[in-house]
Structure 1
Amino acid sequence: MIRACLPPPAPAILALRALLLLALVLGASLAGNQARAGESPDLRAAIAALAKGSFAETEKRIAALTALGDARAVPALEALAGGDLYRRKADGAVFIVSGASGGYRLTDPLTLQDAGTAGRREVKKIRVNNRLRRAIRAALGALTLSASDPARRLAAAEAILKARDKEAVETLDRALARETVAEVAAALQAARAAAVLASDRSAEEKSAAINVLAARGDREAMAIVASIAATEDQALAGQATAALARMERSQALWDVARNIWYGLSLGSVLLLAAIGLAITFGVMGVINMAHGEMVMLGAYTAFMVQGLFGALVPGQIDYALVVALPAAFLVTGLVGIAIERGVIRFLHARPLETLLATWGVSLILQQGVRTLFGPTNREVGTPSFMSGAFELGQLTITYNRLWILVFSLALFAALIAAMKKTRFGLTIRAVTQNRRMAASMGIRTPLVDALTFGLGSGIAGIAGVALSQIDNVSPNLGQSYIIDSFMVVVFGGVGNLWGTLLGAMSLGIANKFLEPFAGAVLAKILVLVFLILFIQKRPRGLFALKGRAVEA
């Protein structure tokens, strides 16, 4: 009743309400457009322009895109370099694509949101050549120089250094002004020096840039300085030639250090593989061709333990390797005792039959593992404390190799202590030196044989756990190390642990120094020839055993 008495709204009020409603609609639409990841029309247009024109024009457009300084262009540039940036034929829009059933899945290069799918004939790949890839690397470096993560800034500086982008000098100057991490600042200075040498800057600036690269001294810097040494500018060419000579001398010293490190790394692997063989070969005189399979069983034990950890206590994989060490020792030690009790004790003092029997055992173990686990390689994950690497001058030292070197030396020290300080070690040494006299003194030599074979096999299993971090875990793993293990034992002296240590490190370093000149295969052949000639002069190796058993 009351509403019926109200007067109808005036036309002016109706018009005002309509205008307010229209303003709200337009405002919501504008807000929605601006909410699309805060994108810039210039940035989207610059990305879309990458799909047009020749390679030379695309290179200019990459430079223009970089000049915008917007890090949101990084996914598009990465996709362009990787061959994943496509243009839709219908409207010319550019998308990052990934494989999908029957076509491609489209992703917006700015918002990184799903943009639907397209058939294979509906889109066309934006192609690049090697020159454009270098330009893209430089652009990515420039766009990520302001990242909060120092690792990303370092990678960006290295990318600009390799690209030698002459347009990046000002960008690098700005990055250097705000950089606080010394390692990143050094990389930025080297990248700036490379950019200056590629530009038309003054001779004074180029001279200073040569000094910066000479101080860096790595192979990338050497290549840049070498290019300056071939220029027509006599002053710069002379300075570059002198700097290059200094860099080559420094690099030669680092190459020696690098070969020594690689040799020690290989020697630690050989030590782990051979130290158990040295014990059994020294005590029993058994040529155990199944020793490599003990290494292989240790690696598969690590694989099984890690699988159990993943199923029972996920997220604690780092501890799996620690548990795998005693587990591998027990498993392979028991297998070794079983082999000694079941096969070898019946063939005592018959070396040819022992060799053939253990070779047969190795084939049985290989086929058994191949049946249980399959012939393909198995992956054993690397714990976090063994992942990564660090730089020492021009050396890159990986943590897994460093840990294996430390572990092999620790295992060697523990074994030496056990041989010197324990009753079991004393009995092993007694049987090694004179079996008959040890037996006459009441030592149960058959039991010592079994336990010694188990100890040697257990150590081989521990070696397998370590090798699972740097080699493929497969049924043929042990075959890669059995010959090298015998070479180490014979060279160092049968049954002598110190000889085994010296032999492993010597052969490892010799291999790595020969490989750059002769190749890996020929280097191993040369080492084997040297060993044959060596044992002609010293049949008992570097450190011969002492005792009456040697004369027998």
Structure 2
Amino acid sequence: MKILHLAWVSALGLLLSLHSHALTAEQAFAMAAAEDNDARAAAINAAVLAPDAGGPTGRTAAYLQALADDAVRTAGGKAYVVQGDAASDPATGAAAKLPADAEEVVNNNYLRGVIESAQAALALSSSDVQQRRKAARQMAAEPDAARLPLIAKALAGESDEQVKALLGRARAASLLGSDDAAQRLQAVRQLAGLKTPETQLLLNQRLADETDPAVQKAIQAALPAIAESLAWGERLGAVFSGLSLGSVLLLAALGLAITYGLMGVINMAHGELIMIGAYATYLVQVLFQRWLPEALFGWYLVVAVPVAFAAAALVGAVLERGVIRFLYGRPLETLLATFGISLVLQQSVRSLFGAQNVGVENPAWMSGGVALLPNLTLPFNRIAIIAFAFAVLGAVAFMIARTRLGLFVRGVTQNRAMASCVGVNTARTDTYAFALGSGIAGLAGCALSQIGNVGPDLGQNYIVDSFLVVVLGGVGQLAGTVYAALGLGVLSKLLEGWTGAVLAKIAVLLFIVVFIQKRPQGIFALKGRSAEA
């Protein structure tokens, strides 16, 4: 197919050289609507290469879009563009009468690929640099020897360095299919310096078909260097993914570090408090979408943060005053009670929002990412969650260590009777502390809504890991929670690259079991009177 395709292009090039004028748009359009797929592909390429193609706003581009939209009919050797009940001549744009026997032009996948490549080629002459970058990126991903003249023309007039680099890669990738071994060798040397996954794939594919010993040797020398460079990107990507997972675990476990670590309450409904924060974020998004101008949508997440905290904190306060305060000092009973409450909360959410997941969109400023290496892109939403996790950690640490409420929480935790004797309202402090831990869980739900779907079972995916983080870090120790969350996140992602997700999870669990057996107090042990109590 490709050989015949190139033969048609060569034949058309010869035809063009024999005539003093370029292939007219009308001829190209008629041939693009022919029944033979290779003839249509050749005609499309010739129309794009013609000097009067007109760029991304010309008639050639408009006709290619009509072909892509299946809006072209043929009859009597002519092509017609049909929009609704109106037909027009693609060469002039003038209205035309559609013959009764006109037939629809059908595009298969091969022709759709040719059309998309042709549209990208025309976009290279756009005045918008972003559009040219997108087109050059597409041409680099789909190399075609028929595009070499157009690439050369675009390179000659291009000023943007990124577009030049992409076009250079597209030219080198296209030359890999050349009949000239010297050109193939030159292409291999150029691609070897790029060290991208795309060039690695192209060189591997070429190696399987290469017959020239010099080119084979060059490819075999280039592939290990590319693989080593990409391996570093994969390693750094695994570390970043681990930090991202660790920040999520940190947010999920911070609230538990207060309710369980400081208060001794085994709260099995902690995951549902995370879920409440996520649904609060969803409701704020819906409010912004329905009632506020579209320009303000990017700010919904800023409003959702305090709303998620307040919603989860309110539920936590009601839970503490209604159930938990009667069960202090009886951890197993709190476990059973909160487990039942978690089921009630899950079913309540299913009744209100349905059993299906709901989607929460990222604001525009959290979309995209930063490309550090060819195979390493750091998503903005993950970066934002890491920063948010540490901001929440700093706020919690400051509140516990420097505020009046933090002093009361620490006093009640260490010696409830003595704190009561000096005038601390222990019941109110318990409520505030539990509401604080619940509110932090709501913030975790707000963050989690930005990296996945929100559903009734959202919290169940994190409750076990949250308890593991708190126990591993040391009960009541915020610093231990940080080390445990980030350490488990990075360890899990590194092991996944070697063993797979399931075995990595088992390995992490075995590590925690062995560690707790050797050091039951966790990474950081309590010191002083609180450790003796």
TM-score range, shorter chain: 0.7 to 0.9
Displacement of 1:250 after TM fit? 0.7
Distance (whole Å) between structure 2 residues aligned to residue 293 and residue 542 of structure 1: 27
Q: Does 1:246 align with 2:225?
A: yes
Q: Does 1:218 align with 2:189?
A: no
Check the 8 A contact 1:433/1:546 in 2, yes or no.
Answer: no
Query: Which amino acid in structure 1 is aligned with residue 285 of structure 2?
Result: Q
Give a deviation string over 1:208-260, Cα, whole Å, max 9, x none. Answer: 43233222211101112223444222222212211111111111111101111
Residue 463 and residue 48 in structure 1: after superposition, are their counterparts in 2 closer, same or farther (change >3 A)? farther
Query: Do the aligned partners of residues 519 and 84 (structure 1) sit closer, same or farther apart at CA in structure 2, a change above 3 Å counting?
Result: farther
CA deviations over 1:409-455 (Å, ceiling 9, x no partner): 11111211222211222232333444455445543333222111100
| Whole-angstrom distance in 2 between the partners of 1:497 and 1:543 | 9
Range that drifts further, 132-141 or 262-271: 132-141
Are 1:75 and 1:109, in contact at CA under 8 Å, matched by a contact in 2?
Answer: no
Match of 1:485 in 2: 466
**When the two structures are aligned, how many residues end up with a matched partner?**
503
* C-alpha distance after superposition, 1:165-213 (max 9, x if no partner): 112222222222222222222111111111122223461x444432332
| Structure 1 residue 191 corresponds to structure 2 residue 173 | no
Residues 242 and 486, structure 2, Cα contact 8 Å, conserved in 1: yes
Question: 1:316 is paired with a residue of what secondary structure?
Answer: helix
Q: Which residue of 2 aligns with 1:260?
A: 239
Match of 1:296 in 2: 275
For residue 326 of structure 1, the aligned residue among 286, 301, 306 is: 306
Q: Which moved more, 1:168-177 or 1:513-522?
A: 513-522
Match of 2:344 among 360, 364, 375: 364
Residue 93 of structure 1 deviates from its aligned partner by: 4.3
Q: Contact 2:181–2:215 at 8 Å: present in 1 too?
A: no
Report if aligned partners of 2:49, 2:149 keep a CA contact under 8 Å in 1.
no
Which position in structure 2 is the counterpart of 1:17?
Answer: none
Change (3 A) 1:434 1:472: same
The corresponding residue for 2:378 is 397
Contact 1:135 1:163 in 2 (8 A): no
Q: Partner residue of 1:24?
A: none
Q: CA deviation at 1:79?
A: 6.3
Letter of the 2:520 partner, please give it.
P
Q: How does 1:120-519 map to 2 (within 5 A)?
A: 124=104, 126-130=106-110, 132-201=111-180, 203=182, 205-230=183-208, 231-314=210-293, 315-394=295-374, 395-519=376-500
CA distance in 1, matches of 2:28, 2:406: 76
Deviation at 1:331, TM superposition (A): 1.7
Tell me which amino acid in the other structure corresponds to 2:337.
A
Shift of 1:123: 5.7
- Does residue 66 (structure 1) correspond to residue 45 (structure 2)? The answer is no
CA distance in 2, matches of 1:91, 1:200: 36
Give the partner amino acid of 1:63. Answer: N
Instruction: Quote the offset at 1:519 in angstroms.
Output: 3.2
Deviation, 1:122, is: 8.3
Identify which range, 253-262 or 516-525, moves more after superposition: 516-525
Instruction: Give 1:482's aligned amino acid.
Output: I
Change (3 A) 1:532 1:135: same
- Paired with 1:393 and 1:202, the residues of 2 have a C-alpha distance of 31
Distance 1:249 1:107, change over 3 A: farther
Whole-Å separation in 2 of the counterparts to 1:167 and 1:145? 15
Distance 1:521 1:105, change over 3 A: farther
Cα deviation for residue 96 of structure 1 reads: 7.1
8 Å CA contact 1:492–1:498 kept in 2: the answer is yes
Deviations 1:233-291 (A, max 9, x none): 22222122111111111111111011111111111111111111111111111111111
The one-letter code matched in structure 1 to 2:212 is D
Alignment of 1:31-46 (within 5 A): 42-46=24-28
Match of 1:7 in 2: none
Task: Pick closer, same or farther for the CA change 1:310–1:129 going to 2, 3 Å.
Answer: closer
Amino acid corresponding to residue 329 of structure 1 in structure 2: F
Cα distance in 2 between the residues matched to 1:265 and 1:336: 27
Q: Distance in 2 between matches of 1:255 and 1:78?
A: 39
User: Are 2:262 and 2:475, in contact at CA under 8 Å, matched by a contact in 1?
Assistant: no
How many Å separate the matches in 1 of 2:423 and 2:94?
81
Which has the greater radius of gyration?
A: 1
For 1:522-544, what per-residue CA distance to the aligned partner results, in whole angstroms no more than 9, with x for missing partners? Answer: 43233223222222222222122
Give distance in 1, aligned partners of 2:341 and 2:278.
18
Change (3 A) 1:307 1:162: closer
Q: 1:309 to 1:227 in 2, by over 3 A?
A: closer
CA change 1:65–1:399 in 2 (3 A) is same
CA contact (8 A) 1:333 1:458 kept: yes
> Does 294-303 or 246-255 show the bigger shift?
294-303
Deviation at 1:516, TM superposition (A): 3.2
Cα distance 1:289–1:145, how it changes in 2: closer, same or farther (>3 A)?
A: same
Change (3 A) 1:154 1:108: farther
CA contact (8 A) 2:89 2:96 kept: no
SS at match of 1:199: coil
Q: Supply the AA of the counterpart residue of 1:481.
A: Y
C-alpha separation in 2, matches of 1:520 and 1:62: 47
Distance 1:116 1:400, change over 3 A: farther
Q: Which amino acid aligns with 2:41?
A: E
Q: Is the 8 A contact 2:70 2:107 kept in 1?
A: no
TM-score by length of 2: 0.85
Relative to structure 2, which stretch is displaced further, 509-518 or 216-225? 509-518
In the TM superposition, residue 44 of structure 1 has moved relative to its aligned partner by 4.6
Deviations 1:61-117 (A, max 9, x none): 332232233434445546656x745646799745578xxxxxx88886959999999
Distance 1:284 1:158, change over 3 A: same
Per the alignment, do residues 232 and 287 of structure 1 end up closer, same or farther by CA in structure 2, a change over 3 Å counting? Answer: same
2:494, 2:314 → 1: CA distance?
39
Q: Distance in 2 between matches of 1:74 and 1:113?
A: 16
Percent of aligned pairs with the same amino acid:
46
In structure 2, the residue corresponding to 1:390 is in which secondary structure? strand
- Map of 1:541 onto structure 2: 522
Distance change in 2, residues 1:75/1:516 (3 Å) = farther
Q: Distance in 2 between matches of 1:109 and 1:297?
A: 59
> 1:176 corresponds to which letter in structure 2?
L
